[in-house]
Structure formats: C-alpha cells, structure tokens
A and B are shown apart, each in its own frame.
Chain A
C-alpha cells in the first residue's frame, strides 16, 4: 500500500516536473524580454541576468523616441474596427450556414473555407492595385487611411467556421419557441443566439485582435506616412533604427505586447471555452 502511494506521488512529481520544464521554456524568452527592458545598456552588453537597478526611464525613452503614442492609437483604432466588423459580418454569415438550409449552402461553405488556403503573397499585389483603384474612384481616400487597413479584413473564414460550429449546437426548440412569439431570423439571431455566443465571439475577437496587431507587410504597403501606421510597423522601424540598444528594443517590445496580454487575461476563461470548438468535427 505504502509503495503504491509512493509511486503515485513519484508520478505526480514527474508530471509536474515535465510541465514545469516546458513552462520554463515557454516563459523564459518572455521573462528575459521584461528583465532586459529594465537594464542599462552596459548591463545588456555584459549579459547580466538581473538589472542592478530597475530602469523605468527605458520605457519613457522608447515611448518618446519611437513615437509609440501615435502608433498605439492607430493600432487600437484599426483593431477595434477590424474586430467589430469581423464579429458582425462573420456572425451574420455563420447563421444561415448553420441554421437555414438554403440552396447552394454546401458550395458557399466550402468556398469560404477555401479562402483559408490562399497565401497572402497571391493576394498582395492584386489587392494593392485594387486599393489604388478604389483610392482614386471612391468618395473617401483608401490609401494612408483606415479603409485599406480594415475593410479587407472584415470577414474571416476561420471566424465564420467557428461561429457556425457553435450556432449549430443551439437547440431547435429555442427557434421554434421564438417563432411562435413572432420573432424572425434577425431578431432570433441578435436577441437570443447572440447572448449565447459570448465565448465563441470573444475567441474569434481575440484571434482577430492578435492578427490585426501582428500585421506588418500590408500596412507597410498601403501607408507611406506615420499618420495611420500601426505599432508593428513602428516597432519594426524602431528596432532597425535603435541598432544595438537592446534595452530600448525590449522596452518597445514590452509596450507592444501589453495590450494583447491585458485583453487575453480579461477573457481567458471564455477563450479557453471557445477554442475547444475549433477542433470538433465539421
């Protein structure tokens, strides 16, 4: 009996040991980034492990030197528009795919999923030419402005797929009951289904937010002034200009990471719940 308990305790140590080891590997670069952001330049060059004195001024310096204030504002506006648009349009598209057996549904669904396979490099040049054309002929300018940065990303196949998975799981009785009360599809979707979709919507929103925060090549292409450039471009330029000043680079990297981290911590529970839908059978 005693040996059995010992062996199960040993197993538990082994389990936590393995998990901890991978945890260190996952967290180490992150921890190093934060530590280095508080060091003096000399300390980063000598590659010490801990800063002797926490250098908060690094943040002030990076913030001022790289004009992060402007880039931050731009990225936030772009992210909010992208997330809002994607959620609304994808939810609306997912609803009939999940619940109205209209003619041509399969073809439309497969077509939407197919867009996931198209590499960005195929669409970059044609889309750039298209944006140029729209810039010339539409009432508002597209280049160096929010439309080019947000509108092309307002629908995502992955978002539609995930929301469809969830909407399919809503019991049919709910719809029957709503219809008895005289509700149409629009009212059912926005008053009954929408509140139930909290977890998948937040999950899709998080992915869209991460994607928007990461985008680099496209914003570089459709903007040529800092006016609308997002933080990824700002950080990339700052890093290439700052040269060997690792401590300032890391302060910039931490600044760029904070908003994503904050949002993730706020919706962590729903995100875990929503992500479980993506692996289920179609």
Chain B
C-alpha cells in the first residue's frame, strides 16, 4: 500500500472533526455516561453507587418482559408485511409507463406527514366510536364494532369470541398482541410501505433489461423470473431495508407514545415507552438508564445475528 502523506492525513481529520465532535459528544459519550448512571441510585441527582442492582431488579421486572414481548410482536407484525407489500408495489410500479410519478408521490405522502399530525388522524379513524372509519369498514363486512386503539384484549381472543367460543384459557389474552397493538402496527405499515417502495423501485430500475429478455427466451414465466432474477438482485436493498426496519422498531417511540390510550393499558408499551415512563413519570434516571442499556444490547445482538443469518444470503453480484 502506498504511504499517505502526513498532510493528507491531517486534511482528512480536519474535514472529519466537526461531525466527529458532535457525534462523540452527543452520540458516543452519552453511552458511557448512561452506563455510569445505571450503576448508581439516581433520582434527580446522583446518589449512592449500587453496582448492578438496577440490572438485577430489571431481570425480575414484568414491565421489561412485557416491553420485549410487545416490541417483538410489533417487529413481527410490521417488518415482513412491509417488505412483502412494498416489493409487490415496487414491481407493479416498475411495470407501468404512465402515472409512475403520481403513485410515487402518493405512496410517499404518509412518510412525510408529520408523525403528530398523522397519529392524531389515526386516533380518530381507529376510535371505538361506532361511526369511526375503522368500524364502518369493519361493519361493511358484517363484523361487530371494535374498540381498536382502546382494546387491550388480544386479537386471538377476539377472534375466538367472534367464532362463538365464550371461554378460553387466560394466557390467550396475555400472550398474543392486543387489538390496540395491531392498530399501531397498521399505522406503522401505512407510514413505511411507501418509503420502502420508493427505495425498492430505485433498486429495480438498476436491473439490466437483458436479463429478463434472456429469461423470456428460455421460456421462464413471470414468477420464475421474479424468483430467479428480481429477488436476488434486489436482495441487497431488501437487506438494507430490513436492517433499518429492525433497528427502527426497537427505537420506535413517537407514534406509539401518541397512539397510546388508557384502554389499551400496557399492551402497546414497547421498551422505549417503558423507559420514557421511568424517566418522566417515576423520575428514576438510574433505573431508566439500566433498561435503556438492556435495549441497546438487544439491538446490537439482533443486528449482529441478522448480519450473520441474512447477510450471507444477500447476492452482491460477481
């Protein structure tokens, strides 16, 4: 390797320094500080050093497990549905000649609408009121009115009830996601499908046309060319989107906080909401820091696992 002149090195660090300073001070230093805080009793001010007590307490805290469970179902409900839907939409959009720009703008609309504004709209659309849009749609198919964002019963329990089973074991209600959480998931899908579609469309446009022509000559049907050409060639994009989505669902806060209702109880409280409550309701900064650290480690582990498992199946070309 050629040796880089010292002057070049200095210039490089000079260019980097403003951004690095901001990221170090407000992005990396706080991690160390959070660890320090989590090892102390810390209400408004720093109190005694208590070692790993907060972490021990967290391990037997039902709120932590509930937070993990809700986050898990939230990720499970959003990420696969979003990726499948947006891949389908991007393929359709790719095919058409007229109106591409129009649909792209339309699909992107939910993403650029401020979260507060769209969440307020969803609160009204998914209200338990018999004439709310969600209930009207539901009623159109002959179903009973639901309480949507205000419902803490699980969707499985509601389904069993609708099928006529009046009794079911209690764990059906406590284990599965509530209808309120499913409503939040619908909101999330609504926001992100358009964003994913726009990025996937860019990935599709980069695939050389000749591949499809060659496949057609070989007698491949559309489904075969999709599986053999499209999917492998957009797999880097899908991988990128799923990485961003997994990190995103674990960090999600704003819209879940705004869509939270008293009726849903803790069934929509993802981990960040649990931590937020510890900071602002209980003013327990020390314990909140410990919970936040556990969340951070979970994100790290998940991203590494995803890189190992999915990363290998990504096709980067020759």
Interface residues of A (CB under 8 A from B): 12, 15-16, 18-19, 22-23, 25-30, 32-33, 36, 46-47, 88-90, 92-93, 95-97, 100-103, 105, 108, 111-112, 115-127, 129-130, 151-152, 154-155, 157, 160, 184-186, 189, 210, 213-214, 216-217, 231-232, 235-236, 239, 246, 249-250, 253-254, 256-257, 260-261, 264-265, 268, 272, 275-276, 278-281
Interface residues of B (CB under 8 A from A): 4, 8-9, 11-13, 15-16, 18-20, 22-23, 25-31, 33-34, 37, 85, 88-89, 92-93, 95-96, 99, 101, 103-118, 120-122, 124-125, 129, 131-133, 190, 193-194, 198-200, 202-203, 205-206, 236-237, 240-241, 247, 250-251, 253-254, 257-258, 271-272, 275-276, 279, 285, 288-289, 291-293, 295-296, 299-300, 303, 316
Interchain CB contact (< 8 A) of B299 among A22, A33, A92, A117: A117
Interchain CB contact (< 8 A) of A126 among B4, B34, B103: B34
Q: What are 19 inter-chain pairs, A to B, with CB distance below 8 A? A: A19-B103, A29-B110, A29-B122, A30-B121, A88-B18, A92-B19, A93-B20, A96-B16, A102-B8, A102-B9, A108-B20, A120-B251, A127-B26, A160-B19, A235-B116, A239-B120, A250-B120, A276-B205, A279-B237
Q: Do A33 and B202 touch across chains, with their CB atoms under 8 A apart?
A: no
Q: Do B114 and A214 touch across chains, with their CB atoms under 8 A apart?
A: yes
Q: Do B117 and A235 touch across chains, with their CB atoms under 8 A apart?
A: yes
Interface of A is mostly: helix
Interface of B is mostly: helix
The chain B residue sitting closest to A234, CB to CB, is B116
Interchain CB contact (< 8 A) of A100 among B8, B19, B105, B115: B8
Q: Do A89 and B30 touch across chains, with their CB atoms under 8 A apart?
A: no
Knowing A117-B300, A121-B288, A216-B254 touch, does A32 contact B133 (C-beta < 8 A)? yes
- B30, chain A: closest CB distance, angstroms: 4
Q: Specify which chain A residues have a CB less than 8 angstroms from the CB of B271 in the assembled complex.
A: 121
Work out how many contacts link A and B, with CB atoms closer than 8 A.
Answer: 270
Alpha-carbon distance A108/B89, docked complex (angstroms) = 37
- B32, chain A: closest CB distance, angstroms: 8
- A154, chain B: closest CB distance, angstroms: 5
Q: Do B112 and A93 touch across chains, with their CB atoms under 8 A apart?
A: no
Q: Do B34 and A250 touch across chains, with their CB atoms under 8 A apart?
A: no
The chain A residue sitting closest to B1, CB to CB, is A101
Q: Do B19 and A275 touch across chains, with their CB atoms under 8 A apart?
A: no
Q: Do B34 and A122 touch across chains, with their CB atoms under 8 A apart?
A: yes
Q: Do A129 and B33 touch across chains, with their CB atoms under 8 A apart?
A: yes
Alpha-carbon distance A130/B36, docked complex (angstroms) = 14
Knowing A119-B251, A278-B240 touch, does A125 contact B116 (C-beta < 8 A)? no
Knowing A102-B8, A155-B23 touch, does A119 contact B117 (C-beta < 8 A)? no
Q: Specify which chain B residues have a CB less than 8 angstroms from the CB of A210 in the assembled complex.
A: 111-112, 114
Q: Do B253 and A214 touch across chains, with their CB atoms under 8 A apart?
A: no
Interchain CB contact (< 8 A) of B303 among A26, A30, A117, A256: A117
Q: Do B34 and A257 touch across chains, with their CB atoms under 8 A apart?
A: no
- A70, chain B: closest CB distance, angstroms: 17
Q: Specify which chain A residues have a CB less than 8 angstroms from the CB of B193 in the assembled complex.
A: 22, 26
Q: Specify which chain B residues have a CB less than 8 angstroms from the CB of A126 in the assembled complex.
A: 29-31, 33-34, 37, 289
Knowing A22-B107, A115-B27 touch, does A232 contact B19 (C-beta < 8 A)? no
Q: Do B199 and A185 touch across chains, with their CB atoms under 8 A apart?
A: no
Q: Do B9 and A103 touch across chains, with their CB atoms under 8 A apart?
A: yes
Alpha-carbon distance A123/B11, docked complex (angstroms) = 30
Q: Do A122 and B89 touch across chains, with their CB atoms under 8 A apart?
A: no
Q: Do A102 and B4 touch across chains, with their CB atoms under 8 A apart?
A: yes
Q: Do B108 and A264 touch across chains, with their CB atoms under 8 A apart?
A: yes
The chain A residue sitting closest to B295, CB to CB, is A119
Q: Do B296 and A90 touch across chains, with their CB atoms under 8 A apart?
A: no
Alpha-carbon distance A256/B258, docked complex (angstroms) = 16
Closest 3 CB pairs of A and B: A276-B202, A96-B12, A93-B19
Q: Do A89 and B19 touch across chains, with their CB atoms under 8 A apart?
A: yes
- B309, chain A: closest CB distance, angstroms: 17
Interchain CB contact (< 8 A) of B131 among A36, A47, A280: A47
The chain B residue sitting closest to A90, CB to CB, is B19
- B312, chain A: closest CB distance, angstroms: 15
Q: Do B276 and A96 touch across chains, with their CB atoms under 8 A apart?
A: no
Q: Do B117 and A256 touch across chains, with their CB atoms under 8 A apart?
A: yes
A117-B300, A126-B33, A217-B257 known, 18 other contacts, Cβ within 8 Å: A16-B96, A26-B107, A26-B194, A27-B109, A92-B15, A96-B16, A119-B251, A119-B296, A121-B275, A125-B288, A210-B112, A216-B115, A217-B276, A231-B114, A236-B258, A253-B121, A275-B202, A278-B199
